[in-house]
Structure 1
Amino acid sequence: MQRVILAGVDPAAGGRAAADWAEDEAILRDLPVRVVRAWPPDPGEARVTVTGLGLVPEDTAARAEAPACPLILVPEAPARSNRTGGITLGVDARRPADAAIDFAFESARLRCLRLHAVHAWALPPSAAELPFAVPEEDRATWEDHEVQLLADALRPWRAKYPDVQVFQDVVLFTPSEALLHHSPHAALVVVGHRRGSAWGDTTRSLLRATTCPVAVVPS
């Protein structure tokens, strides 16, 4: 069965940006487009599903399970075009989502864009027990460890996609804060998701505030 790019659109609610993204995704992947006018669309033989961000009500997103294939949610007026800026990937370096990492690298390769891999971290619980501010030396040691975790998580994919330029970014924020901070400069933000579970706080925060498309990729 031939794979397709599935576009879920609602003519009454606009959706032109999602349709345009789906058409461009199909050109990049050399696949046909199939348009459906329903949410949630049946993924069927879809390689990627694209739909308008406005077609996914927040209460639905809060309950929805991870999609069966990568789902790209496109706001009606994206801040950037499909092929400018870069691809921003949210990575939990301790539990990397391989499918999301692969999709982000592939998306960057197809568009000849840089991949910005963002790993958000927090100070260890022991830091709260310190009587004064965290010593700079301790913070630097912890941060170096996080940098190494991210490098280890990305190493197989850098070998698989040697032509993709990668910028590794370790930040002391929550995941949603980190990704929202970088989303205005991105063509696409990619997040992983464990299938069979509801969309998490990070994904819902992105959907509420993003100005760029968000790809939710099932593990």
Structure 2
Amino acid sequence: MFPTVTAGLDGSAESLAAADWAAREALRRELPLRLVHAWEWQPYNYPATDAPLAGADPQRHWAERVPREAEEELRRRHPGLRITTDQIAQQAVPALLAAAEDAELLVLGSRGLSGVAGFLVGSVASSVAAGTKQPVVLVRAGELEEDEHEPDALDRPSTRSPYRDVVLGLDLRRPSDAVIEFAFDAALRRSAVLRVIHSWNLPTYYGYGTAAMGPEFGAELAAEETSELAEALRPWRGKFPSVEVTEQAVIGVAAQHLVEAASDASLVVVGRRNRRAPVGMHIGPVTHAVLHHAAAPVAVVPHD
């Protein structure tokens, strides 16, 4: 099968926002969009005006309606985009994991916290994000195309990107080429600035104030972290010379810095190691926190 950008549909507002984001990404990547609706055992709550006719199978009725209406709306919004739809009589997690195998990118919706910018990642989204071998992007309900762009983009010189920054959370202790390349590629496709954030902490013994260590010791460590970050990104700057990169080596909790950066980002990119936890799959504490609290779409890129 040819590569696609694939979006999972369940008829919810968040999945429709994810499908629209996936359509824009498919256009950026010059790929077709595949809409996948896994309809077996879905707990549908039908509005009175939407209930199927008497005698009809309600699940099959909804399984046919959800992708059909989504496809019609996406064709209207994105004329020329190649779209295919699949209705899969299977539970959502195994169906989406199988669909991801043929996809270049899988896009899913996440429920937005009412009144709070962030994600409430459901069991389906978290299970798929933890188990797939392909990158997964999670998009909250209400995410619009204009949210990807700077509010004052039209007032800026033409040399500046109309897109908000792509933010990459980079762990220099375990850097991943797959995660870094995904972020650079995303910034390139958007002509966006790539903001790379590496979080570090002072050694635990630094706070005890030994005579051998003064304030200059912390400054030296900060300079070393900044230098290591620049060195790690040097080959990628050469591979993607047109991408403008800003580097931030910051003290503190990585998830907190990434969540703050997400408030004015078009996309946040984080990694997930391919490993199993004692029970099920594991996405790691930083990625977990970012998925639950970031205001921007979040790309989770698996790596060894």
Task: Normalising by structure 2, report the TM-score.
Answer: 0.67
Summarize deviations over 1:171-215 as a string: whole Å, max 9, x none.
Answer: 111110110111101000000111134011111111221111000
CA distance in 1, matches of 2:205, 2:26: 49
- The residue number in structure 1 matching 2:105 is 48
Work out the CA distance in 2 between the residues paired with 1:177 and 1:119. Answer: 12
The one-letter code of the counterpart of 1:90 is G
Match of 1:158 in 2: 237
Moved more, 134-143 or 61-70: 61-70
The residue type equivalent to 1:11 in the other structure is: G
Task: Give the equivalent residue in structure 1 for 2:169.
Answer: 90
Distance verdict in 2 for CA 1:165–1:141, change over 3 Å? same
Aligned runs of 1:96-107 on 2, under 5 Å? 96-107=175-186
Gaps of 5+ in 1: none
Question: Are the equivalent residues in 2 in contact too, given 1:62–1:199 (CA < 8 A)?
Answer: no
In the alignment of these two chains, the number of paired residues is 218
Structure-1 residue corresponding to 2:251: 172
Deviation digits for residues 100-157 of structure 1 (CA, Å, limit 9, x no counterpart): 110000000000000000000000133133259x732111100011011111211111
Change (3 A) 1:185 1:60: closer
Contact 1:65 1:196 in 2 (8 A): no
TM-score, length-scaled by structure 1: 0.91
8 Å contact 1:66–1:193 — kept in the other structure?
no
**CA distance, structure 2, for counterparts of residue 64 and residue 50 of structure 1:** 10
Moved more, 170-179 or 112-121: 170-179
CA RMSD between the two structures: 2.2
Aligned twin of 2:142: 77
1:13 is displaced (CA, Å) by 4.6
Which SS does the other structure have where 1:191 is aligned? strand
Structure 2, unpaired ranges of 5+ = 39-91, 112-119, 150-162, 277-281
What's the counterpart of residue 199 of structure 1?
283
Greater RCO, 1 or 2 (C-alpha within 8 Å, sep 6+): 1
1:17 and 2:17 correspond? yes
- Contact conserved, 2:13 with 2:141, CA < 8 A, in 1? no
8 Å Cα contact 1:94-1:149 kept in structure 2: no
Cα separation, partners in 2 of 1:213 and 1:170, compared to 1, 3 Å: same
Percent identity reads 37
- Counterpart check, 1:213 vs 2:297: yes
Q: Which has the larger radius of gyration?
A: 2
How much has 1:58 moved relative to structure 2? 5.6
Q: Give CA-to-partner distance per residue, 1:54-87, whole Å, 9 cap, x none.
A: 3941697379634211100001123863452110
Task: Give the counterpart letter for 1:149 in structure 2.
Answer: E
